[in-house]
């Protein structure tokens, strides 16, 4: 036993000796409320400056009393709270160790005390005393290191700029570790809060693009140099040049020492220089563009001189030929037709120039009137179809997912967009080529529908280098294939301007020798809800078209109206379906037939249907072609009526109401020949130009009207004022006239104190054809507007609206009549 005790004493001695040789404080503590000292080496007492006996007598081996002792007037409560908080944090987290850098009081020169910096590393054991866990602590004096840091901070403050130390993670999360006084004076002490500080966060976010550009260098610990713009804590902007080097790593992340130099004055000077250089470059570009524009306009004027003289020469030449062949009506008629074509071309040239002039001067404005998309497209088809027919081109128009039809927009400009694109397709597509137009309603959001209009042709296409210039004013492709094609080079430029004004987009793609595709997208403000569908419930209709997609679309629309629909893609199948339906006693209520089909066309299919079931079954022909040319053959074959493509829901509804549900006779009566359309009507024509008077009077007289004339606005007001009540059915008013213009004359008539003065229809009949001119006419009190030059169809349609007291009277014109 004595040998064992001796061995234990020797072991304890050796252990104490070893602990003292470490030259660091090693101690054992119970983690109770006092952090009670159980054992320590000699260096523990040397570190705090107390002898063992004195320490035990004064503080009873309780470090809590060492930090807070009223008898000695010692109150280092903050240091004690820091230590105890770290211990509690470690215990609660279940960690086995902790490390803490803190200040510690040390006895020095009698009762005088000073402080040292220590690094405290503690390890928690599995040993417990009276229910409290035991820990071992190692304290190392690091006062020299901390003093060195203090000296460094003093040096930081003397550097010409802001100094900071950052730890940077792999995802560019910057953690501020320390900084000098100048840094905190600029950014504020709260910068240490990192991303929780609003100013710090704003500066990081606004310069994140710069950091991302240098991410590779930063995360790899390479030296970095870049410039940022940051705000100080007063809200002032400054340009800072950052130079930083990696001085170490923490847990694999590089730690950077960074110096910020304020270069605001130099940066602003450089920016001003760059701005001046940019302005100079802009001026050079503008000068170059102006020179190119002047050159283009010179080329344009030279070309226009030729293009205007060409149709004008045709007009004068055909007039001379007609004079020489007055005894040959056929020759005269042919001359007149060619004069008319040349006049229309001349008018198109003038309209393009005027439109471009209005656009460039900023005077072009869009109308926001009620617009029917079916009417716009029907007009486009009516205008373009004769041209396509001249070259035997195959034209088709298809609708997809179209739900809405009535919008608030500028119908005139929309029509012009489509006609400009289709005219180009016609010009540059050879004989027997194909031109197609697809209309798709893509979406409707908050009362606005977005439409896509795609026009594709199989024409000659364009060279890739010209595509970027196609929307440039006065430009035309330099190509022998198109040199003989007439045009101003303004059509596409005007088209793009109109699309832009309507907040839309236009794109073009083309392949040389294969064709071109234009895609226009326009937002249209919806004016009406989808159609009510109950009226046609129970009807059975057979649809025939060799285009399966067209059949499916028709079936979908008819289904939305509550109509049972079958469809086939040939005339032969149609006849078979009718035969089967008749045998089963389930006859259809109507048949909708495409006119142009490869096996049996619409007319031959109709003849065979009539052989099967007589005239009782309505057969309607659907086509985008001009109906007037084949109307007699169609009626002879037994066709009931005609529906104009594109087929909208409203087109179907009107056609079914008219031909399937009855009312055809009344409508046919309204479609009488225009030659007697205005019989018994009296018009007052106020026009100062005698030629225009003669033209309008002759056209109206041919339609059965009696026409009185006046040479200026004042004479017109006087003539109307002296006429009996209800004497004139319509007043046709020119605008630009001497003595009193059309606007003044209209206001004067409306102000007359007599019956009919405020209700008689007054229609502007003028060469002022822009949207603002139409609005000015309305503001003056006019009911409508007709742009010169006039023709029979315009007069018939526009005047007919007001004579019938129905703004949509033209919709009652029989569908098989050409518009």
Based on the domain organization, do 293 and 412 belong to the same domain?
no
Cα Rg, the chain, nearest whole Å: 47
Residue 289, domain extent: 268-360
Model pLDDT, residue 812: 30
Q: Does the bond joining 646 to the residue before it have cis omega, within 30 degrees of 0? A: yes
Q: CA–CA separation, 395 vs 437, rounded Å?
A: 8
pLDDT value at 776 more than 90: no
- Which is higher by pLDDT, 742 or 302? 742
**Closest C-alpha among 598, 684, 695, 592 to residue 645:** 592
- Which is higher by pLDDT, 311 or 603? 603
pLDDT digits (tens, 9 = 90+) for 449-495: 999 999 999 998 888 877 877 877 655 555 544 544 455 566 788 78
- Can you say whether the dihedral through the CA atoms of 629, 635, 641, 647 is positive or negative? negative
pLDDT value at 12 more than 70: no
User: pLDDT band at 141, cuts 50/70/90?
Assistant: confident
Sequence-ordered alpha helix ranges (H) in 362-432: 373-390, 411-427
- Mean pLDDT for the stretch of residues 288-301: 66
**Closest C-alpha among 419, 491, 507, 427 to residue 461:** 427
CATH code (residue 690): 3.40.50.2300
In-domain check, residue 414: yes
Q: Tokens at residue 566, please?
A: 């079958």
Based on the domain organization, do 739 and 792 belong to the same domain?
yes
In-domain check, residue 668: no
In-domain check, residue 780: yes
Percent above pLDDT 70 for the chain: 78
**pTM of the predicted structure, to 2 decimals:** 0.46
In-domain check, residue 669: no
Model pLDDT, residue 30: 93
Model pLDDT, residue 664: 41
pLDDT value at 170 more than 70: yes
Cβ 138 vs Cβ 26: under 8 Å: yes
Based on the domain organization, do 161 and 120 belong to the same domain?
no
In-domain check, residue 689: yes
Cβ 643 vs Cβ 660: under 8 Å: no
pLDDT value at 810 more than 50: no
- Mean pLDDT for the stretch of residues 285-313: 64
Cα-Cα-Cα-Cα torsion 61, 65, 67, 73, nearest 10 degrees, comes to -130
CATH code (residue 515): 3.30.565.10
Based on the domain organization, do 702 and 794 belong to the same domain?
yes
Cβ 551 vs Cβ 566: under 8 Å: no
* Burial (CB count within 10 angstroms: exposed 0-12, middle 13-18, buried 19+), residue 335: buried
Start-to-end CA distance of the chain, whole Å, equals 131
CATH code (residue 347): 1.10.287.130
In-domain check, residue 7: no
Based on the domain organization, do 683 and 724 belong to the same domain?
yes
Based on the domain organization, do 503 and 373 belong to the same domain?
yes
Question: Which SS3 state, helix, strand or coil, does residue 546 take?
Answer: coil
Based on the domain organization, do 274 and 394 belong to the same domain?
no
pLDDT value at 675 more than 70: no
Based on the domain organization, do 380 and 499 belong to the same domain?
yes
Cβ 92 vs Cβ 84: under 8 Å: no
**Closest C-alpha among 381, 314, 277, 429 to residue 647:** 381
Based on the domain organization, do 657 and 689 belong to the same domain?
no
Based on the domain organization, do 426 and 522 belong to the same domain?
yes
**Closest C-alpha among 579, 583, 661, 666 to residue 618:** 661
Q: CA–CA separation, 120 vs 584, rounded Å?
A: 103
Q: Tokens at residue 579, please?
A: 């035969």
Which CA distances in Å does 238 have to 219, 259, 264, 300, 516? Answer: 26, 15, 5, 53, 54
Boundary (domain end) residue, out of 245, 262, 279 = 262
Please count the structural domains in the chain.
Answer: 6
Based on the domain organization, do 538 and 463 belong to the same domain?
no
CATH code (residue 32): 3.30.450.20
In-domain check, residue 4: no
User: pLDDT band at 250, cuts 50/70/90?
Assistant: confident
In-domain check, residue 758: yes
Boundary (domain end) residue, out of 209, 243, 262 = 262
Cβ 712 vs Cβ 735: under 8 Å: no
Model pLDDT, residue 663: 45
Boundary (domain end) residue, out of 526, 549, 565 = 526
pLDDT value at 516 more than 90: yes
Q: Which residue has the tokens 């396509």?
A: 388
Q: CA–CA separation, 380 vs 400, rounded Å?
A: 18
- Mean pLDDT for the stretch of residues 186-201: 87
Based on the domain organization, do 375 and 520 belong to the same domain?
yes
Helix, strand, coil shares, percent, the chain, to 5: 45, 25, 30
């Amino acid at each position: 036993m004595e040998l064992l005790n001796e061995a234990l004493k020797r072991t304890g001695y050796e252990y104490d000796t070893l602990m003292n040789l470490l030259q660091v404080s090693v101690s054992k503590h119970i983690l109770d409320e006092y952090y009670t000292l159980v054992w320590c080496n000699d260096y523990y007492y040397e570190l705090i400056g107390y002898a063992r006996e004195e320490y035990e007598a004064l503080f009873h081996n309780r470090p809590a009393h060492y930090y807070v002792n009223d008898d000695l007037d010692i109150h280092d409560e903050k240091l004690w709270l820091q230590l105890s908080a770290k211990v509690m944090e470690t215990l609660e987290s279940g960690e086995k160790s902790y490390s803490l850098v803190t200040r510690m009081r040390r006895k020095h020169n009698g009762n005088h005390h000073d402080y040292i910096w220590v690094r405290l590393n503690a390890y928690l054991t599995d040993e417990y005393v009276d229910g409290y866990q035991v820990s071992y602590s190692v304290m190392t004096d690091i006062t020299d290191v901390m003093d060195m840091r203090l000296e460094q901070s003093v040096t930081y403050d003397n550097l010409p700029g802001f100094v900071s130390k950052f730890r940077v993670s792999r995802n560019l999360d910057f953690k501020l570790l320390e900084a000098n006084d100048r840094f905190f004076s600029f950014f504020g002490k709260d910068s240490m809060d990192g991303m929780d500080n609003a100013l710090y966060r704003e500066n990081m976010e606004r310069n994140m693009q710069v950091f991302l550009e240098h991410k590779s260098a930063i995360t790899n610990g390479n030296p970095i140099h870049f410039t940022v713009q940051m705000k100080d804590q007063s809200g002032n902007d400054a340009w800072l040049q950052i130079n930083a080097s990696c001085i170490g790593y923490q847990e694999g992340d590089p730690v950077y020492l960074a110096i910020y130099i304020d270069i605001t004055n130099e940066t602003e000077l450089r920016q001003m220089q760059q701005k001046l250089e940019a302005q100079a470059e802009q001026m050079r570009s503008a000068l170059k563009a102006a020179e190119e524009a002047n050159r283009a306009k010179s080329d344009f004027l030279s070309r226009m001189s030729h293009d205007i003289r060409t149709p004008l020469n045709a007009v004068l030449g055909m007039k001379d030929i007609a004079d020489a062949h007055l005894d040959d009506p056929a020759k005269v008629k042919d001359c007149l037709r060619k004069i008319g074509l040349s006049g229309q071309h001349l008018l198109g040239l003038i309209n393009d120039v005027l439109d471009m002039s209005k656009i460039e001067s900023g005077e072009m404005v869009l109308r926001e009137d009620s617009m029917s998309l079916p009417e716009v497209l029907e007009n486009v088809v009516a205008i373009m179809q004769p041209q396509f027919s001249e070259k035997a081109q195959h034209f088709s128009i298809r609708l997809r997912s179209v739900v809405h039809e009535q919008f608030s927009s500028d119908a005139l400009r929309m029509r012009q967009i489509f006609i400009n694109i289709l005219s180009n397709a016609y010009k540059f597509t050879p004989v027997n080529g194909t031109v197609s137009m697809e209309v798709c309603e893509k979406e409707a959001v908050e009362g606005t529908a977005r439409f896509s209009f795609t026009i594709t042709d199989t024409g000659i296409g364009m060279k890739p280098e010209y595509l970027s210039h196609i929307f440039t004013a006065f430009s035309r492709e330099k190509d022998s294939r198109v040199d003989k094609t007439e045009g101003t080079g303004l059509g596409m430029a005007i088209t793009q301007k109109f699309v832009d004004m309507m907040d839309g987009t236009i794109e073009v793609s083309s392949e040389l020798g294969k064709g071109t595709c234009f895609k226009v997208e326009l937002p249209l403000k919806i004016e009406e809800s989808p159609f009510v569908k109950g009226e046609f419930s129970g009807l059975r209709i057979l649809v025939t078209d060799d285009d399966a997609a067209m059949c499916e679309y028709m079936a979908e629309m008819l289904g939305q109206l509550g109509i049972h629909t079958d469809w086939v893609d040939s005339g032969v199948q149609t006849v078979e379906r009718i035969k089967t339906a008749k045998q089963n006693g389930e006859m259809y209520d109507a048949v909708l037939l495409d006119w142009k089909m490869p096996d049996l066309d619409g007319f031959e299919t109709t003849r065979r249907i009539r052989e099967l079931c007589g005239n009782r079954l309505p057969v309607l022909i659907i086509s985008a072609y001009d109906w007037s040319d084949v109307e007699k053959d169609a009626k002879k074959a037994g066709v009931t009526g005609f529906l104009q493509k594109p087929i909208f829901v409203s087109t179907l509804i009107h056609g079914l109401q008219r031909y399937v549900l009855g009312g055809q006779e009344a409508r046919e009566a309204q479609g009488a020949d225009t030659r007697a359309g205005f019989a018994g009507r009296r018009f007052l024509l106020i026009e100062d130009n005698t030629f225009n008077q003669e033209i309008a009077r002759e056209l109206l007289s041919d339609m059965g009207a009696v026409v009185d004339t006046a040479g200026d606005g004042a004479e017109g007001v006087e003539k109307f004022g002296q006429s009996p009540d209800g004497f004139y059915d319509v007043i046709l008013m020119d605008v630009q006239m001497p003595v009193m213009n059309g606007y003044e004359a209209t206001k004067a008539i409306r102000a007359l104190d007599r019956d009919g003065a405020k209700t008689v229809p007054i229609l502007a009949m003028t060469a002022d054809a822009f949207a603002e001119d139409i609005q000015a006419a309305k503001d003056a009190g006019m009911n409508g507007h007709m742009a010169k030059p006039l023709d029979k169809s315009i007069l018939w349609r526009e005047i007919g609206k007001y004579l019938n007291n129905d703004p949509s009277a033209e919709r009652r014109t029989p569908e098989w009549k050409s518009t």
